Amino acid sequence: MAVAFKFPKMEVEDIIGALNGWNLSVNEVQILRPTPDFVRDVYRNCLEHITAINEDSVQGAVQDAFMDTNIDETDLYASALSENILLYHLTRLAQAACIDNFNSRDLTHPEPARTRVLLSAFINFIKFTEQYCHEPSTKIMHNAEKVVQERRAAEDELSRINQEITVIKAKLAEDEPRCEQLRMENKKLHTEMLGIKEIQYVHGQDAQRLKEEKEVLLGRMQALTAEIDSKRGEVVRTRSRIVQSPDRIKRAISVMSTSVTEDKRAIAQTEAKARDLKAKADALIRIEKDLGRCVAALRVIEREAAALQVMIKESTDIKEHLKQKEIEHEEFVLRHERLEKQVANAQDKLERAQRHAEDKRTTNARTLERLDEEYKQMSEERRDNDRVVKDLTAETEEVERKMSEHLRVNEAEIKELVGEYFQLRHATEVYRQMLADKLGMMDVS
């Protein structure tokens, strides 16, 4: 049959010395005649020493449990729930210390022998964990605290980024109507500018044509003036050469009057055209001023467009930064999943170690049964055959020696496997408990 491992029973003096070393004032009378208050205080101190679960932790768990219920008379149930939680954790500690039948009677009606066994198991288990599990448990706790700190930092960074994104989105939503208005105004001014450029081109051609006509008319006016002057000179010379005739003079005067009238009409037309040209030139000047204002407006629009492009670029950079932070958040989630997988792998290793230890115990039990059967068979043969008593006795002693050696080897292997089992189990429990405490949860499973 399977051999169950048990921690050795300690002497009363050793128990008192160990408890005094933990700053617990204990005497021999309390060990030999334990009371419920005494064992509860000692067991609670052992639990706090190995798991850091104290009275405040239990009361906090009770308050958290009542917060999720609609019970009004919490005082009626607080004490019972606190005792149940304490009993649950003490049962876990007892199971870890290879005591499977720990119950509430050990707290309410303690027996001296039973209390001595429990205290011996608890003290030996705590010393065992302090000696062999301190370094790995410290490493696991350090890694757990580091992971919690990294998670909090990542959550703070994600919260800050989300706030920045919210502000940027609000600003973009606030600036979007203004940007849309500027785009519409820019499009409208661009269309107007194209129309004004076309009008300017047409007026420029008209002004050039009018300037050419003005130059032609000025040339004609100068030619007519020169021709009039030459005609007047010819008239003077002709008058000096010819005999004055009233009829001829009248006809000449009539012809000259007609010429002067035509010249005046031509001059008036030329002046009218000059006035029209001046009006058109003034209009061109006004158009040039309007074009100057349009150019200034276009420059303002270009500056606004450049500012808009800068804002769009900043928005693009912020979006890229947001994507980067989302990628970092996904990496953090993957890292957390990897840690959970590592915990699951550790639990699998622990289960395999337990199965291996169970197989070892089963194999050893079968070997013991087989050796026992062989011993019985040899005993029967010894009773049937007195002639080979000495030989059978020697063989029996050899078998017993092999049994002892085999038991010793198996017991050493079992102790080693149990040590590894409790080391892995305690490291896993401490890691889960620490992770639950850091994450604000209570492991009550």
For the segment 201-234, what is each residue's pLDDT rounded down to a tens digit? 887 788 788 888 888 888 888 888 888 888 777 7
Please tell me the predicted confidence (pLDDT) of residue 415. 77
**98 SS3 class:** coil
- Whether residue 325 is predicted with pLDDT greater than 80 in this model: the reply is no
Nearest to 36 by CA among 119, 107, 115: 107
Contact predicate 66/78, CB 8 Å? yes
Q: Dump pLDDT digits (tens) for 86-119.
A: 888 888 888 888 887 888 888 888 888 888 888 8
Please state at what angle helix 74-96 crosses helix 112-132, rounded to 10 degrees.
70
- Is pLDDT at 162 greater than 70 in this prediction? yes
What average pLDDT does the chain have?
77
Helix (H, G, I), strand (E, B) or coil at 210: helix
Listed range (123-127, 174-178, 289-293) with the worst mean pLDDT: 289-293
152, amino acid identity: R
Percentage above 90 pLDDT, the chain = 0
Instruction: Report in angstroms the alpha-carbon separations of 246 from 250, 255, 261, 378, 388.
Output: 6, 14, 22, 192, 200
In this prediction, residue 71 carries a pLDDT of 66
Distance between CA atoms of 301 and 425, rounded to whole angstroms?
73
pLDDT of residue 79: 78
Question: Is 345 or 101 the better-scoring residue by pLDDT?
Answer: 101
Measure the CA–CA gap between 413 and 358, rounded to whole angstroms. 12
Tokens of 73: 């008379």
Tokens of 400: 């017993």
11-17's contacts with Cβ under 8 Å and 24+ in sequence apart are 12/116, 14/123, 15/116, 15/119, 15/120, 15/123
Query: What pLDDT sits at residue 241?
Result: 63
CA atoms of 239 and 134, how far apart (whole Å): 146
- Residue 56, pLDDT above cutoff 70: yes
- Residue 256 predicted with pLDDT over 50: yes
| Mean pLDDT of all residues in 65-70 | 71
**Tell me, what DSSP letter sits at residue 26?**
-
Which residue bears the tokens 């160990």?
A: 18
**Is pLDDT above 50 for 319?**
yes
What are the distances in angstroms from CA 264 to CA 161, 218, 257, 268?
A: 88, 14, 10, 6
Residue 75 vs residues 104, 109, 258, 336, 442: alpha-carbon distances, Å: 21, 25, 134, 39, 21
Q: Which domains does the chain have, with CATH numbers?
A: 1-132 (1.10.418.60)
pLDDT tens-digit series, residues 4-47:
567 777 888 888 888 888 888 888 888 888 898 888 888 888 88
State how far the Cα of 279 lies from the Cα of 110, in Å rounded to an integer: 123
Residue in this structure with the two tokens 């003034």, named with its chain if needed: 282
Q: Which long-range contacts does 190-197 make (Cβ < 8 Å, 24+ apart)?
A: 190/298, 190/301, 192/294, 193/294, 193/298, 196/287, 196/290, 196/291, 196/294
Closest CA to 429 of 92, 101, 127, 99: 92
Q: Which residues of 88-127 are buried (b: 16+ CB within 10 A; e: fewer)?
A: ebbbbbbebbebeebeeebbeebeeebbbbbbbbbbbbbe
Taking residues 411-423, what's their average pLDDT?
78
Is pLDDT above 50 for 3?
no
